[in-house]
Amino acid sequence: MMLAVVEPQSSGPGGGSLLLVWDARVRKLAFYEGLASAPALMPVDWAHTADGGAIDLHVLDRTGRVVGVPGTLRTLALVDAKTGKLPWERLFRDAIATADGGFAMPHYLHTILSERPELAHEAAFAGYFDATGVPLPVGAMLHNPELAATLRQIATRGAEALHGGAIAQDIVAETTSGRYPGTLTADDLAGYQVHQRDPVCLVAFDRRICRGFPVRPQSKISGMGRESRKSG
């Protein structure tokens, strides 16, 4: 959740996750697949207009059409229920304080904003730019009270705060509007499931190396499930 605050370009509760978790109590490695998935009603041809014209990917990337059903929070909640030690609310306290109190503009975020000046016109990124549309300088203090408010709800209600209620309604409303609306529904958010699987391991260089492989069942919609290109 702290990364959601200081790396909004890469991380957030609206994204997906893959986790490998070592449980020292039972000496077992578990793999949790929580990637964002395709909405049930996602069309086969999502990258073209109704008349067959290709949509510019830089434009498409910032629309609801490419937003998947988020899986990060339910993944973290499942792992927390199985192996967590701290109260759920405690896990959000530092991120909330940082979003409210402010953090210094990182070099990497500043570089990304400089390469994407069009983001200055989006409400979610407006606070990172000055009045002329130039990114604030490295080290400038940034605040995100809206994210802090969202994290407070998640800290209080749990992961389900994102999968039902007011936040879920806002996500659906935002992603199904605009020039290229998506097809995400409240049922998609409510029905998301995390999968626990066995990791794939091999021995090499006198070490046991393991990783998780997401399983993507065939879909009548797009053949393969899509990962979200937005991290929210």
Mean pLDDT of 32-52: 90
Q: What is the pLDDT of residues 90-129, one digit of tens each?
A: 999 999 999 999 999 999 999 999 998 988 988 888 899 9
Mean pLDDT of 35-60: 89
Q: What is the pLDDT of residues 128-177, one digit of tens each?
A: 999 999 999 999 999 999 999 999 999 999 999 999 999 999 999 999 99
Domain borders along the chain are 2-102+143-211
Tell me, what's the pLDDT at 216? 60
Q: What is the pLDDT of residues 158-168, one digit of tens each?
A: 999 999 999 99
C-alpha dist (Å) from residue 96 to 85, 104, 129, 174: 20, 15, 22, 23
What percentage of residues in the chain have a pLDDT greater than 70?
A: 93
Tell me, what's the pLDDT at 232? 40
Helix H segments across 61-201?
Answer: 72-83, 93-101, 107-115, 145-157, 160-163, 166-175, 186-191
Tell me, what's the pLDDT at 231? 38
Smallest CA-to-CA distance from 164 within 192, 142, 144, 138 is with: 192
| pTM of the predicted model as reported, rounded to 2 decimal places | 0.84
Tell me, what's the pLDDT at 110? 96
Tell me what the pLDDT averaged over the chain comes to: 89
Per-residue DSSP letter, 132 = T
